[in-house]
Structure 1
Amino acid sequence: MPRVLVTPSSARLGVPQSSDRTRATLSPAEVASASSPASKSVDDAAPGLRYPLRLPLLLFGITLALILLHQGRLVEYLYPAGAIGVALVLYLRSPAHYLGFVCWLFFLSPEVRRLADFVDGAFNAQSPIMIAPLAAVSLTGLTLLKHMSKLGQRRAAPLVLIVIALFYAFVVGAAQVGPFGATFTLINWLYPVLVSFYLIVTWRHYPDYHRVLLKTFIYGGLLMSVYGLVEFVSPMPWDAFWLMSSKMQSEGHAVPFGMRVSSTMNSCGPFAVTLMSILLTSLAARGRMRIVLGCIGVPVLLLTSVRSAWGGFAVALIYSFAMLDGRNRLRMLAAVFGLALMVAPLMMVDQVATPVLARFDSMQNLGQDDSYQVRSEFYKTFFASALTNIAGQGLGTTGVGTKLSDNSAVQTMTDFDSGLMEVPYVMGWPGTLLYVSGVLMLLWRAFRASRQRPGDLFANAGVGVALGIVSQMVFVNTLTAVAGMLFFIGATLPVISLRYAREGRGANRAAAAPDPKRQQRTTTTISTHTAG
């Protein structure tokens, strides 16, 4: 009887055979996808990094031990040095865990500073601890230097426009107020853009970004929400010490039910934007932790009393609801109604409901709202100045960088109550045209990419985060510092998600395509055995 030799599908594809069970459970497309470059994990790219969470946990554990030993002054130097060391190791070996660690540094470093100042017994207005997150995220600048040639690619075009605008404003600002103030401000404007470029370069790790960042936001948001609730009900001694020493009157009073919640971050504004982004990202998660986060996080977001973040959250929710398919839309509606039912009992407590309702009432009576009156007067004063100053004032003339100004004759503003006005005021006409074009192009590409991948809820949530943040530009500049980093992450994730999916499909088609030479050898083998 003639024997027919039929090779397995995995052998025809040229994939090394491991076991009968593996070949039986994997389709040819899955085998090709698993062996394609796009599906390589961080562990494949960095052998030896088996436990990436050990180093961050060790750093925070040592920091906590030193604080318990009342070594606040030692923490001021060891914490930034340790953060830079851990960030460097993760940067070299695990891109996703590196970015997750950077997020944790921005979440927790202000609280570490408060604890160090409290145990040391003195408020340090220029604490070295706050250098830690900036130094860690600055490592993304090495990626720019290493992959400078990728700036010529089409997908990096929006970032190129933004970077050119920033360096134009830096030159103008350095001439106006000196290099120190301009450089400090440039860092806060530039590092969110560098994070976006870092994501574009490391797009092959998108599944790891999906997993690590989602966990970082869920657990980080839960930790900050719980702490923020405790802070509102009964402020910790170190929080009260920080509030009185920093003299930030806008944050309220260090008494129970008297503080605007800032949790572990510097103030209620950055914390509200961060928590808003985390809550929106949690829509892509599964499991009980997402429900717990929503039940605690939504009331805490209300207790920040940051109305711009409330509005951004509403804008992002509306967008997410409109973009979801029918099934996910019903799930989102059920989640919103469920959260409303769970949060309702908490809002019946007078001490909790009073500040929230007062802020809502101020939105209805804008004529009696002091904040609205001040911002309205600000728009009238600076509208003409911002639009008629063709060259712009340059970086360093607004924000915290004004404290490093070398020229007292130049008009500077520490608090600029409008992001929409700050951009033309700082960058002038040339920089504004480039910067706004880059931001709009980034948003448009993120939207298009998310529409082509409707099943990727994580990437779609990123577009919602970006829209929620940019919609707050009417009130404050949300494209810099932590808020800016979250904006650029949200706007970049859909782009790298789409590229990862396309590269994977291309690898599958290439692997599934028949090999004429191999088919000829198979036919020859069958013919030989048949003849025998």
Structure 2
Amino acid sequence: MNHKTATLYKRPSAFAAIGLEPAAAWAIILAFVLFTSVCVFAHLGSVLRFSYPLGALLVAFLLHQKYPILYLGFSWWLWFLTPCVSRISDFYAGQFDETRLVLLAPYLAVLVILPPLLQQLPKLCRGDTVPYILMLVGIAYSFGIGAVNGSLFSVAKTGLDWLIPVLFSFYLVLHWQNYPEYRKNTQRVFFWGVLVTGVYGIIQYTSMPAWDTFWLSAVIEKGAGSFGSIDNEEVRLFSTMNSPGPFAVWMMAGLLMMLSGQGAQGVLQIPASIAGYLSFMLTLVRSAWGGWMFGLVALGTSLSPKFQLRLILIVFVLALAVIPLTTMEPFAEAINSRIDTLSDLDNDTSAQVRRATYEGLLSQASSSLTGYGTGVIPTYDSAILDLLFTFGWIGMVFYGGGLLLLLLRLFKGNKGRSDSFTSTIRAIVLAMCLQLVFGNVLVRESGIIFWGFVGLGVASQKYYDHQTEGS
């Protein structure tokens, strides 16, 4: 057998044999996972506090250089799982880390795109990138106002919450040519994410792990009031994330994606959906429930007849599988009592608090011309109040204007109608827009979901525009 023939019959690598290609990229990712696991099993929580964010930065940098598709998937996973890693780190270190160093990991992973983006910036002030330039100007403005009115540390910390999701979205639009690969990668990540976080959430609800109990005790002691009771079967479920709200938003997006048949993985589709819906309901986040229903309607009306029929069939099968579980203990009491509040909002405490917040602060917020900048005014359960207080009307011209232009671009025309993933993106973005009144879904973990899908949606539009021009 000559050399050429021998090459043809070369045995595939172990990574290729299990579908993990390119092998070099997966070797980097798995080395990071293995090192993190060793630190966990060896109870090296203090080591994990520093090694995890630095390792995430290194892996993200290497993937961004040569494997941009896997870089996207790695970034998604960091946002989903890092809060849980932080709790494990605190538990084995024996103390609550006030600095929250581990939580820097997903921020650092996104920041690796900043240097190349700045190099290209002079060439980017045109077309679909103009809205992002406007928003970056608005964020820079809020940084400056915040530096005048508050401490630099608080300004930087809160400013990153606004900046990072926008950068992530900007990156996806700049690399719109990769849209088909981004679509496939995102489908796969969100399917496995729903399965993993959904199953973990049910375990957390019925038998909370020690690191979650340790962390939850600390944050409740510090005044956090959105988790319910620390006792099993009484907590508002937050799974691998830091609070019920962001987890509900993430699960809402993943479940809408799976409804359209995206990311289907054969026999695991139904178990993943059941775990996802049950954990989603146990968050008790009514705005996310409403967002899911709104997204479902938006998705159904935007799909082609063939996909609409499949959607109806999927919803029917899932209803048969999930509804009986929500009527069984230990799940029924918590879910049903929360549902009952939807018909009695006048006597609902959280609704009354939100109404009082708007009545007391909306006039003040809407009269702010310059805003207070990032990190000066406490955040509220409303993106509208946060936007007005942070940016003022001057900053809103840039940030709000850029946001509006992107949404108009996303919902413009019917290109990509045959691509159910594009329809799903629009449904998810619409569902999250509905929640702007009830929480700030533009920042942190929720912001990554919102802006990530806005970026994917605009990238899909550019991709199909190019396809039309080339035909």
How far the C-alpha of 1:501 sits from its partner, in A, is 3.4
How far the C-alpha of 1:155 sits from its partner, in A, is 0.8
How far the C-alpha of 1:173 sits from its partner, in A, is 1.2
1:329 is paired with a residue whose SS is helix
In the alignment, is the contact (CA less than 8 A) between 1:206 and 1:497 conserved in 2? yes
> Residue 170 of structure 1 corresponds to which residue in structure 2?
143
CA offsets, 1:72-123, max 9 Å, x none? 1111111111111110110101112111101111111111111122122222
2:373 is paired with a residue whose SS is coil
Q: Supply the RMSD in Å over aligned alpha carbons.
A: 1.7
Given candidates 355, 359, 366, the residue that maps to 1:387 is 366
CA offsets, 1:433-458, max 9 Å, x none? 33222212211211125x21111111
How far the C-alpha of 1:287 sits from its partner, in A, is 3.9
Letter in 2 for 1:55: I
> Residue 126 of structure 2 corresponds to which residue in structure 1?
153
- Do residues 111 (structure 1) and 84 (structure 2) align? yes
CA offsets, 1:365-403, max 9 Å, x none? 111111111111111111110111211111112xxxxxx
Given candidates 141, 149, 170, the residue that maps to 2:114 is 141
Deviates more, 1:253-262 or 1:367-376: 253-262
Aligned equivalents of 1:373 and 1:504: distance in 2?
A: 51
Aligned equivalents of 1:370 and 1:172: distance in 2?
A: 35
Question: Over alpha carbons, which structure has the higher Rg?
Answer: 1
Letter in 1 for 2:79: F
- Do residues 125 (structure 1) and 104 (structure 2) align? no
Given candidates 160, 176, 180, the residue that maps to 1:203 is 176
Given candidates 276, 281, 285, the residue that maps to 1:306 is 285
Pairing 1:133-532 to 2, within 5 Å after superposition: 133-247=106-220, 248-282=224-258, 283=260, 284-288=262-266, 289-397=268-376, 412-413=377-378, 415-448=379-412, 451-504=414-467, 506-507=469-470, 509=471
Aligned equivalents of 1:263 and 1:164: distance in 2?
A: 35
Aligned equivalents of 1:328 and 1:186: distance in 2?
A: 41
Q: TM-score when scaled to structure 1? A: 0.81
Letter in 1 for 2:204: E
Deviates more, 1:459-468 or 1:51-60: 51-60
Q: Which runs of 5+ in 1 are unaligned?
A: 1-47, 398-411, 510-532
Aligned equivalents of 2:93 and 2:254: distance in 1?
A: 33
Letter in 1 for 2:77: W
Aligned equivalents of 2:94 and 2:217: distance in 1?
A: 13
> Residue 404 of structure 1 corresponds to which residue in structure 2?
none
In the alignment, is the contact (CA less than 8 A) between 2:46 and 2:93 conserved in 1? yes
> Residue 78 of structure 1 corresponds to which residue in structure 2?
51
Letter in 2 for 1:389: S
How far the C-alpha of 1:125 sits from its partner, in A, is 2.1
> Residue 10 of structure 2 corresponds to which residue in structure 1?
none
How far the C-alpha of 1:201 sits from its partner, in A, is 1.7
2:331 is paired with a residue whose SS is helix
CA offsets, 1:248-307, max 9 Å, x none? 342122322111111111111111111111112222233423333222111111100111
How far the C-alpha of 1:54 sits from its partner, in A, is 2.5
Aligned equivalents of 1:61 and 1:169: distance in 2?
A: 40
Aligned equivalents of 2:468 and 2:317: distance in 1?
A: 38
Deviates more, 1:80-89 or 1:196-205: 196-205
In the alignment, is the contact (CA less than 8 A) between 2:226 and 2:244 conserved in 1? no
In the alignment, is the contact (CA less than 8 A) between 2:40 and 2:88 conserved in 1? yes
Aligned residues: 445
> Residue 72 of structure 2 corresponds to which residue in structure 1?
99
In the alignment, is the contact (CA less than 8 A) between 1:84 and 1:135 conserved in 2? yes
Q: TM-score when scaled to structure 2? A: 0.91
In the alignment, is the contact (CA less than 8 A) between 2:369 and 2:393 conserved in 1? yes
Letter in 1 for 2:453: G
CA offsets, 1:163-201, max 9 Å, x none? 222122221111111322122211110111111111122
Aligned equivalents of 2:54 and 2:235: distance in 1?
A: 32
In the alignment, is the contact (CA less than 8 A) between 1:195 and 1:488 conserved in 2? yes
How far the C-alpha of 1:150 sits from its partner, in A, is 3.9
Aligned equivalents of 1:308 and 1:354: distance in 2?
A: 19
Letter in 1 for 2:255: L
1:455 is paired with a residue whose SS is coil
In the alignment, is the contact (CA less than 8 A) between 2:278 and 2:322 conserved in 1? yes
In the alignment, is the contact (CA less than 8 A) between 1:462 and 1:489 conserved in 2? no
In the alignment, is the contact (CA less than 8 A) between 1:465 and 1:490 conserved in 2? yes
Letter in 1 for 2:278: P
Q: Which runs of 5+ in 2 are unaligned?
A: 1-20
Aligned equivalents of 1:421 and 1:131: distance in 2?
A: 26
In the alignment, is the contact (CA less than 8 A) between 2:406 and 2:458 conserved in 1? no
In the alignment, is the contact (CA less than 8 A) between 1:234 and 1:255 conserved in 2? no
> Residue 22 of structure 1 corresponds to which residue in structure 2?
none
1:448 is paired with a residue whose SS is coil
- Do residues 89 (structure 1) and 62 (structure 2) align? yes
Aligned equivalents of 1:235 and 1:356: distance in 2?
A: 18
Aligned equivalents of 2:44 and 2:58: distance in 1?
A: 20
How far the C-alpha of 1:140 sits from its partner, in A, is 2.1
In the alignment, is the contact (CA less than 8 A) between 1:185 and 1:395 conserved in 2? yes
Letter in 2 for 1:471: L
Aligned equivalents of 2:164 and 2:77: distance in 1?
A: 16
Aligned equivalents of 2:255 and 2:329: distance in 1?
A: 25
Letter in 1 for 2:138: A
2:411 is paired with a residue whose SS is helix
Following TM superposition, the consecutive aligned residue runs of length 4 or more in structure 1 with deviations greater than 4 angstroms are: 504-507
In the alignment, is the contact (CA less than 8 A) between 1:88 and 1:136 conserved in 2? yes
2:317 is paired with a residue whose SS is helix
Aligned equivalents of 1:127 and 1:178: distance in 2?
A: 18
Aligned equivalents of 1:388 and 1:499: distance in 2?
A: 38
Identity of paired residues, percent? 33
How far the C-alpha of 1:234 sits from its partner, in A, is 0.9
